[in-house]
Each structure stands twice: as structure tokens, then as C-alpha cells.
Amino acid sequence: MAATGASGQTSNSVSNIFENLTYGPAPEADNVAKAWLDDHKREFGHFINGKWHKPEGRKYYQTKSPATGEILASTIQGEEADVECAVSAARNALDDWRDAPPHVRARHLYSIARHVQKHQRLLSVVEAMDNGKPIRETRDADIPIVVRHFYHHAGWAELMPTEMKGWKPVGVVAGIVPWNFPLMLLTWKVCPALAMGNTVILKPATFTRLTALLFAEICAEAGLPPGVFNVVTGGGAFGSKLACHSDVDKVAFTGSTEVGQILRHVTAGSGKKLSLELGGKSPVVVFESADLDSTVEGIVDAIWFNQGQVCSAGSRLLAQESIYDKLIQKLKDRLTHFRLGNNLDKAIDMGAIVDDSQKRSVEEFVEHAKTEGAEVYQASACVPARGCFYPPTLITNVQTVSRVVVEEVFGPVLVAMPFRTAKEAVALANNTRYGLGASVWTENISLAMEVALSIKAGTVWVNAHNLFDAAAGFGGYKQSGYGRDGGKEGLYEYVRPEWQERPRPGIVQVNIKTFGATVPGRPTINDIDKNEIQVNGVKMPSIDRTYKMYYGGAQKRPDGQYTRPVMSMSGKVVGHVGDGNRKDIRNAVEAAHKAAPGWGKRAAHNRAQIVYYLAENLEVRREEIAQRICAMTGQPLDAGRQEVDQAVQRLFYWGAYCDKYGGSVQETTLYGATVKIHEPVGVIGIACPDEYPLLGFVSLFAPAVIRGNAVVIIPSEKHPLVALDLYQVFDTSDVPGGVVNIITGDRNHLTKYLAEHQDVQAMWYFGSPEGSKFVEYASADNIKRTWVNYGVSRNWSEVEAGQGEEFLFHSIQVKNIWIPMGDIFAN
């Protein structure tokens, strides 16, 4: 440290230093980074098939240092031919990489980890120069996490035959990552993909391409086979071309919710897997029982880490009313000591915003907050005159509907609101369309855990924020996306069941506006099975029975007051069912939401007993239901009995999983416990296939409800009667009203309203290629999870296709709760 006197001359006297406590510069050397740039004449092409690729006639993008404005290098702007080249390289390398012994893949990932460590300082400096974040963060956080991920996933590669038995690689993976953590987020996609036997094409963000290209060189140096990992650069349209390529089997994206919605639209119906890690508006919930001094430092890490350009940034401060004013004052005092400056200065607190366009966006949010009456406090004195800097900002006197409270700012801006009770805190925390992260601050561990379980977010930290590790998956709820990066839960994004080939439905034409249009049923007078009975020698027609809807635990007439005939395979009418519409779906979803909280909180053992009771009561009606199956499908009676028996067995199978898939403890680097919780998804819409009308119905609703979800289910369109025969089975088995809701009618017509419903959290569809595409397309509006069959039938009677971990994966969402320790031993 050096102190500066009034004359401007530096004084190194001890007394002067202690009097002023002024920091001097502590610059990190950038000579090695600049030498690397010079090695490439500061001009980079793509890295494809293990070598540099610079096609003629391409435009170039200039990468600048956000802190100084210095031009660092020029990188190529890719075109469609470059996508073809990269995909071809990845596809050609796939067979050898996929078929390599797991131990070989593990050695390659281990080698990459070692080589990253060898170049750790270089990567840290280039990342800081390229992105604008402080060297202290890249050196101490980003790059160590990169190394940790490769070591961790080398282990998963080794253990794949046992730990991922029954799964295989998806194929060619396209990774698209943002500019806020260019190398770290790249690693979160690449590690699990390579470990599971996939090849990868990575497109970094436009602003921050350099560390991805440096990393590609390091992979080649480490001996990774050509074509296994490729880096291509280009703009947003170029990324869409990559995602849409027919030979890309999986798209892994981190970025804004708006771009995630675009990717969901353009890949809909293609048969590709898609994972989305999107935006956030994470709450920091501070109770009066918190240690306020450590909380202040935690808030600094939560919101001003990486200039607030973090998807999980703790940008909403919720403080208990009794300590609100005190905490706000402590934060303001802390900001008076904040240091902004050159990102290569090891003593600064915050670096530069990545680009002028992002800075203008942040400024606009803050100015708009002022017009709404908010109070804005900024530590403006610490802002350097040169560079793309913005002061750390604290905004108070805001409302729950204020734009700065609702929308993701993605900058160093914290909004603060008070609360009175824990219930109000949870309600405020969940009052957002996002659900990526949250933190809870209190010395009361019971309160911390209950609040953490109540907040709808993929990661909740207790007395900490923005902790990451390879052993714990990171990802969101709601419009923060789906899928996880890290942990065993993250591996499932890069595999598919061994029995399943990738669906390739080709170009599917769907009119999104008219999809599902239908005309209700009309009277039918021909080919009716006239059920007659004889009473005292007199023939008379049996009493008519038209099946009703079933939701909220009661039978309901269809809102539209239309029915539809159910035909046997010989063309005769065997019954009538209600013809459901939009309002029936709305009512059923409302009933499901009323039931879901209580059902999800029930003891798993209780849910198991109910499912076993379902099996018991279904078997009592074995003969009746088997006959119903045969009347609709034309199968022999023995086949109907077999389907009932398989449905009973399947209920037993899922009943067994009620209390055996709740989560685990993750072995992260945290001194404490990181607890993985398998939480319900929420309300799941299900459209059943026509084949196996009972077994398909049971195979889909059972895994959903045993994990605490409520369902709105459309039974087989052709053969719905057998599902409706289960009304009494549900009622006599103590299934709470609203947990299972059955709406009959045209599958696509009802699917349309489930897929478009803003309060349905997931949609499973087993029907046509057109319906599959519509479901995926419509799901983009609220980023609901989907599971569709792309028109490919499965044999529901086979164990591998009709039950198993695939069903559990779609029935839960992973929450990781980080609980640090340290009262007895410091670690």
C-alpha cells in the first residue's frame, strides 16, 4: 500500500499509511496474455477438428477491454458453411469418442484439468481483460471452479457404466454460453457432455470469445482427439443456425429468458434435447436473527460480485422490518469504502461493465426507478473517469410491481423492501416469474431450512450467496429455465435411455394459431351397441350412462355441454364421454393447484399407502375393467386381463418409489452440508397415448403423483372409458380431490389449452409429431418443462419403456440447499 499526501507525492511512512488506510495499486502482469494474443497476430478464426480454421471472405469482430477500451483482438464472424464444417467434425468424431472405454474418457478429462491448472494464471488474466471482471474473481473463483469441474466429471466418465446404467450419449451437443462467466459456464456444458460420451460445438458470446479459444488450444495440447471439442464464433443468428442444424442432437444454453424462448421456438418439434439456464431475480431474505455485519458482506457478494452481471445475483433484498433501517444504513456505509478500477488491479472490489450497451441498459433501469418515486443511493465517488464503469447502486422505496423489482437488471443494482413475518417473506420471495437462486440469512437453522424449502428456486444458500461446485447442480424453476449444470443431476441432460433412438420427425408443419381446432360430436344413430336387460321377462334398455369429467375429486359435466361417442374397433358406439374445452381445463388446473401444496407436503409413506391402495382396489375390479378394454380395443379378454395386471404391478412399482427418491447430500467443497432435494414440479398436464389405454394412463399419472405433483390428464382419445372407470378407484383409495383430474375430449384440442396455460408447470404429450411440436413451441411462453414423443410410439408393456428413471427425472425438479458450518471448527 502507498499513501498520497496533499502535495500528490507518495509517502510510505508507517504513520501515514495507518492514518489514511489508502490502497495503492496492486496490478497483475498482463505480459503473458498479450504475448499469447501476439502469437496469433491478434486475429482468431474458429477452432474446428483440433486446428484453427480461417475461411476466406469472413467479417471480424473487435474484442475490447471494458476497463480501458483497448482493442485486444479480432475474432471471426461465422457463417452457415462454418456451422456445417463444425457439425461434420463433431459427427465424425462421435463414434470413436462414444465407444471409447469410460476409463479413456476419464483420462482425457483428467488431462484437461491438469493442463488448465498449468495455464491457470494465463486464463485468469485473459478472462479479466476480456470480460472486465476483477482479476481477484477470475483467479480465486472462476478458474478454480473450471478445474474442479473437469476433475469431478473425470470421475463421472469413469463411473458411467455403473452410475448411469441404462443411459447412453445423446450425440452432438451445441453449447451456447453468455458473456458474464465465459469460461466457467462453458465448462459447465462441456464437462458433463464429454464425460457421457458426446462431442461438443461451443459458441461463446460475442463480447467474450477469447478464453473459449484459449481453452480450445489447451484441450488440443492436453491430447483431446480432434473434433471432440470445437469452438465457433459468431453473432446471435449464427447461434440459431447452429442450434437448428439437423445433426445437432442437444442444445445447452445459458443466457437471457428472451433468447431462451427463441431457442425453444426454433427447436420445437425437432427431436433435440434442450436445457435452458436463464435469467433470475434472486431474493436475499434477511431475518432479525441474522448477524448483520456478516450479512452485509454476504450481500456485497450476492449483488456486486462480477458487477451484478450474474444470473443468480441477489438483486432483491428482503429485510425484516425490525432491522430494515439499520441494515440499509450499514450497506450505505459499506459502499463508501467500495473500490472500482482496472480489472487487473488485485485490490479492487468491482470492475467494469462488459460493454457500453449493457451499461446504458442498467442506467435506463435506474432512471426509470427514479421516475416511479424510488430513492437511489449510489457510491459515485469511487467511479473511475475512464472505462465502462457503473457505481454500485442501492434502491429503496419501491413497490412489488416496480419495474426495477420485477425485471432482471443484470448490473450492480440492489432493490430493498421490508417484510414483517416469515410467511410474508416467503410470499415476497416467490413473487417473481424467476426461480434461479435465493439466500436466507438467520442464526436460526430451523427457520432457515423451512424458508429455504418454501422458496421456489433451484439453489438456496443459507448465510451465503453465489457458492458453486461441480458436485451440486445449478439451474432454475419457472422462467429461470430447466435442466441442471453440475452434479449427477446435470448428467441426465446429456444422455437418453439406451433403448431409445433420437426421434427425427423431419420438417413438421403446424399452424400454431389453428392447432387443436375441433367440432364437437353430434348424434349417432347407426351401429350403436344397444345394451338391453330383462326384468321379470320384459326386455328394456339399460339406463344410459354418459361418463363425466373428473376434477377436484368430483364428477363434473362438460362446460360446453357436448359429448363425443367412443367407438369400438368394429365401428360401434360403446359409450359417450364429455367433450372438454378451455373452461374444463381451466377448472381442472385450479383444482390441481388447490390440491398440490398439501399433497406435496404429505409424508412420502402416506402417499405410498394411497398408491398401494389404488393397486388393491384396481385389482378388485380386474374382470370388469379387462372387459372394458376389450370392448373398446377388440383385444381378447386375456390381453385385457394382462393389461390390468401390468397396471397393478406398475402402481406397486411407483408406490415403492414414493419414499426412495427424495434426494441426497452432495459432496461439495463446502465446509457444511449441501442437501439435494427432489421437489415436485407442480401441476403437470398429461396427454396419454391411444395404445394401452389403461397401462399408458397409469404409467404416466403414477410417477407424477408419487413425487408430489398434481396432474390434469387427458386419457386415450380413442379409448377413454377405462380411465374414467377409475373414478371410484380414486375415491375409495383416499386420493385427495384435485390430485388427479381427468378431462376427456379431443387430445390436441385439450392439449392446446394445457400447453398455453401460464400456471401449468410441465406438459407431457404422447401423440402426433404435430402435437409434439405445438407443445414445445407453446411451452416457451412460461418456459414450462415438456416431455413429448414426436409421434413415436413406445411399448408401454415393456419395463424399459414403461417405467424407470426417465419417468422420475421428468417428475421432479432439483433444489440444492447450501448450509455452511463453522461454530466449532473453522475450515
Answer yes or no: are the C-beta atoms of 599 and 708 closer than 8 Å. yes
Cβ-based neighbours of 530, under 8 Å, separated by 6 or more: 541
Grid cell, residue 824, equals 466449532
For 608, how many CA atoms within 13 A lie in the half-sphere containing its CB?
A: 12
**Is 28 designated active site?**
no
**Is 277 designated active site?**
yes
Closest CA to 698 of 666, 655, 747: 655
Q: Tell me which DSSP letter residue 437 carries.
A: E
**Alpha-carbon distance values, 717 to 548, 699, 720 (Å):** 14, 16, 6
Maximum Cα interatomic distance, the chain, rounded to a whole number of Å: 121
Catalytic residue chosen out of the listed positions 85, 191, 311, 658? 311
Closest CA to 727 of 543, 564, 550: 550
Q: What angle do CA 195, 109, 37 make, to 5 degrees?
A: 120
Question: What three-state secondary structure class fits 223?
Answer: coil
Closest CA to 76 of 52, 44, 51, 106: 44
For 387, how many CA atoms within 13 A lie in the half-sphere containing its CB?
A: 24
Sheet of strand 554-556, all strands in order from the earlier edge strand to the far edge:
554-556, 549-551, 740-742, 710-714, 683-687, 762-765, 785-788
Question: What three-state secondary structure class fits 703?
Answer: helix
Amino acid found at 13: S
711-749 core/surface letters (b: 16 or more CB in 10 A; e: else): bbbbbbbbbbbbbbbbbebbeebebbbbbbbbbbbbbbb
Amino acid found at 191: C
Q: What is the 3-state secondary structure (H, E, C) of 282-312?
A: CEEEECCCCCHHHHHHHHHHHHCHHHHCCCC
The whole-angstrom separation of Cα 269 and Cα 275 is: 15
Q: What is the DSSP string of 61-118?
A: EEEE-TTT--EEEEEE---HHHHHHHHHHHHHHHHHHHHS-HHHHHHHHHHHHHHHHH
The whole-angstrom separation of Cα 677 and Cα 816 is: 6
Question: What three-state secondary structure class fits 243?
Answer: helix
Grid cell, residue 319, equals 429485510
Q: At what angle do helices 637-656 and 622-633 cross, to 10 degrees?
A: 120
* Residue 606: φ, ψ to 5°: -65, -45
Grid cell, residue 444, equals 436460526
The whole-angstrom separation of Cα 242 and Cα 82 is: 9
Catalytic residue chosen out of the listed positions 28, 137, 158, 277? 277
Q: Tell me which DSSP letter residue 557 carries.
A: -
Active site residues: 277, 311
